Amino acid sequence: MARLSIQKVHVGEKDTNCYVIACAETKEAVVIDPGGDAPKILSQLDGLNVKWIAFTHAHPGHTGAKDEVKSATHGTTAMHLADATTYLKSAERYLLSTDTLPFGQFALEVLITPGHTPGGLSYKVGNHVFTGDTATVPIRLSAPSELETRISGSVRPA
Ligand SMILES: [Zn+2]
């Protein structure tokens, strides 16, 4: 089994966690949430072949360096359609819960985790789950009706 390499890159004004995940054997990689500071992200991609540029959600702090990373790496951009339409972003692939994003000897599993945004996604590979801002949403509810209130309250503009 090949080794998975995971690097966290702090980017942008909001100090977003961008991740570079690579198959150490094949050097194929995924970039999750390139939110800003494209040169800083690109400096982590030396020798890697970026297959995917995947977004947990489409808030500007998570998508700010999308176009620069895309043009430098030619990875395929991917997000949920609901976020693309809500935040007027675009991607080459709109993801469903059945999708997996293969890279090297690994694949990211797509998990649909709305709440923070309508089209929030998390990505799972091995024992790791990348949640973006979804994990900031409380999930303990005292009544089912509370869910709607919490979801609408958690959909923030940034
Ligand atoms: Zn957010």
Distance 142 CA to ligand 1 centre (A): 25
Q: CB-based contacts of 10: which residues, under 8 Å, 6+ apart?
A: 16, 17, 18
Residue 53 three-state SS: strand
Distance 100 CA to ligand 1 centre (A): 22
Distance 26 CA to ligand 1 centre (A): 32
Residue at token pair 């007027």: 88
Distance 2 CA to ligand 1 centre (A): 32
Distance 98 CA to ligand 1 centre (A): 23
Integer Cα distance of 11 and 22 in angstroms: 19
Residue 70 three-state SS: helix
Q: In which region does residue 15 sit, left (phi positive, over 0), alpha (psi from -120 to 50) or beta (all else)?
A: left
Q: Which pLDDT value is given to residue 145?
A: 63
Q: Which pLDDT value is given to residue 53?
A: 98
The tokens for 128 are: 């790791």
Q: Is 119 exposed, middle or buried (0-12, 13-18, 19+ CB in 10 A)?
A: buried
CATH topology of domain 4-154: Metallo-beta-lactamase; Chain A (3.60.15)
Distance 151 CA to ligand 1 centre (A): 13
Q: What is the pTM of this model?
A: 0.85
Q: Give the model confidence (pLDDT) of 74-109 as tens digits.
A: 999 999 999 999 999 999 999 999 999 999 999 999
For the chain, give every domain's residue range. 4-154
Which stretches of the chain drop beneath a pLDDT of 50?
Answer: 137-139
